[in-house]
Structure 1
């Protein structure tokens, strides 16, 4: 999509799903377009299916082109897909590299300069659903794009298979970019991916990204630290609730830490987390906030006391991806 064009306020029909459609749709949404994709849910790649299930795009396999302001019938890329290259032995000078790029939030403007350059030179891009996919417009036309997004309680590519994809392409001599949202090493499994690559003699480059644990609250006007309120913050994963055998967190210590508590991947378990923190001594009146879709045009924030935050977020329809902030700073909106 040409950066000189603006689709703000226009209804756009994407008539054909092709390799670069994901980047195009993300760019259209960021520009303020109302996007319809002429496809059924089952025929979409994971990242587009996620947008449809979150209500950010409309699906209509029988959409009438005349009912839309703009119709995109082709794919922005007209170059042929890259041809497979011969596999080479580990340690060979022909082995490619794997770059772990933290993409930050959904806003491509929050990518680093090094990140944009990594997108430009990649032979293969392996991306998650929360990466800033509109930034893929900077990629070469012949880039091979692999969608390995994980939808919560939905479609996903097993981590072991993701590791294999990175290794296979790098051993074939390709420069592979692993593009994720946030930072690869903050609940991003970047450590596992790096270990899998180095075990096969594949060089790994790390380009850090903005973690949603600090960036999402910041965009909502919530500083995770504040000189007059709190001297630190604690970041935890909420993908399993307190008391679950898989949880290794000491929620009592977290409740007594006197720090801002930031919970990632915790919307589905927020009720159990809030109940546990209160049971461990954190007052039910402690301010809390849920920041959903941070960095995207659909970003929303809900605020309530800890004892009410789960019900408030559910009532307002906030869901993943979201960041939960618990502590005195959650009552602030320094941008207001």
Structure 2
């Protein structure tokens, strides 16, 4: 911190103390203060003044209790404005910034120090923002939200427009379980978004939007596999209004068994590997007859007959009629 910023911090803290705001004075005295960016020229009557932007850097526990209290923020802003008001200078803006763990600086410093390769690839390294947001949630007692953030992957992109401060978009990729939990719990989702917004805010940049996305995952089933055949058949059965529940999924062993409820009747559909030659199907039919004795229709469908959507629709119709293919 340069001496001028130290003097400014001391002056604002002294004003707060004189006004009886002792707790706020201690917060300011323990904070880091930075004058950031180029000054703006303001015309005030017959004179022109230089207006400066100031960043107040706070650790996560203090930030959690202070940043969301508009009355406290206004009181501190008033103290800094008074300390900076001279015939030539004014306070343009006071930004309350989270001091990021490990680097002990705000994001407005961290992105400048990021390796050039990272700056070219993604404009900035978002890991410090994730860490700061997680620390902020931990400071508020939201350990669940902090854990979800630490498991996530944060992507950042600039929003075109040339505005100041510049705008960015955050996308937090979550695994399927965490994404589903955030979708079910709107309060959890809101807390994580607010924490990311707070951790990513700096004097020259703010988050325009914070969105969640499910992490991509490669499909296991290939076009001609048992998994693909099952998926086509399930889609066709569902389109007919049937309820489908997997009972046995031995895809590698070449057999999938589905419980199908259609028209108030339970039926069992077995998808088997192979093209359904006579001997194989004869063995299957004998099993079907045994199952019928238990008053449950058991339908055998060769996977080769579901090699496209049309075949899946035919198989679904046959299954719902109890026909053995």
TM range (shorter): under 0.3
**Relative contact order, higher structure (CA 8 A, sep 6+):** 1
Superposition TM-score, scaled by structure 1 size: 0.23
| Structure with more of its chain in helix, by fraction | 2
Structure with max Cα Rg: 2
